[in-house]
Amino acid sequence: MNALPIELHQLACERDERELFDGISLQLNAGDVLQVAGPNGSGKTSLLRILAGLLPPSDGDLRYGGHTVFRGQGLSAWRNSRLFIGHAPAIKGPLTPEENLAWLCALGQPVTRDAIWQALEQVGLRGFEDVPCYHLSAGQQRRVALARLYLQDHPVWILDEPFTAIDRAGVAALESHLLAHAARGGIVILTTHHSLDHLSGLRCLDLGVLA
């Protein structure tokens, strides 16, 4: 699994008549891990939503494998190539972890019950498969969302604050999994307040510096 190149060309974003950022140009290749940094309000989440194909830029272009994402069939192909997990875990409280993951994966790549149980074990939630998610802590609900990283084989992962509410053991396991994905030829783009300076090969885009 090798991700195709992602190209950002002079990307800009304006919200409520206020420019958050402009002129962002860079290329990401298979194996890259990019941390998007910056102070609150600098546009980190907006940039991730643009990169996920959920929000059009106010200017500039986003390409994947040389094809423009926001024209023609580019958006559909891009959404099939990336996995986006936002700051909110997108977990429905009345549903169990198994039911939530079955529903989320059915939107793209349906998975078996055995695969779901194995993914929940990977994130430390084996034994909670049938517990309604409103009984789970914030950290456990985040782990349910992150179990998708063990279920869906997308070459590009776009993650908004994935370490939120995760304990030390969970942080170490997630760091290892992100690096393993990059080592297999994937691309990881994420925002986090958690320090990743110790990770070798990490690239950083600081929106505060651009502002």
Q: Is the pLDDT of residue 211 over 60?
A: no
Strand order in the sheet with 156-160: 82-85, 156-160, 187-191, 33-37, 202-206
Instruction: Report residue 73's pLDDT band, with 50, 70 and 90 as the boundaries.
Output: confident
Residue 147 near residue 101, CB atoms below 8 Å: yes
Average of per-residue pLDDT across 117-129: 95
Average of per-residue pLDDT across 155-161: 97
Phi, psi of 198 (to 5 degrees): -80, -5
Lowest mean pLDDT among 33-37, 58-62, 110-114, 193-197: 193-197
Enumerate the β-bridge partners of residue 157. Answer: 83, 188
Residue 188 near residue 157, CB atoms below 8 Å: yes
Phi, psi of 117 (to 5 degrees): -65, -40
Helix 113-122 and helix 97-106, axial crossing angle in degrees, nearest 10: 120
Instruction: Report residue 182's pLDDT band, with 50, 70 and 90 as the boundaries.
Output: very high
* Per-residue pLDDT at 153: 87
Q: What is the mean pLDDT of the chain?
A: 93
Q: Are strands 67-68 and 59-64 parallel, antiparallel or unpaired?
A: antiparallel
* Per-residue pLDDT at 71: 86
Average of per-residue pLDDT across 96-107: 93
Instruction: Report residue 33's pLDDT band, with 50, 70 and 90 as the boundaries.
Output: very high
Residue 51 near residue 189, CB atoms below 8 Å: yes
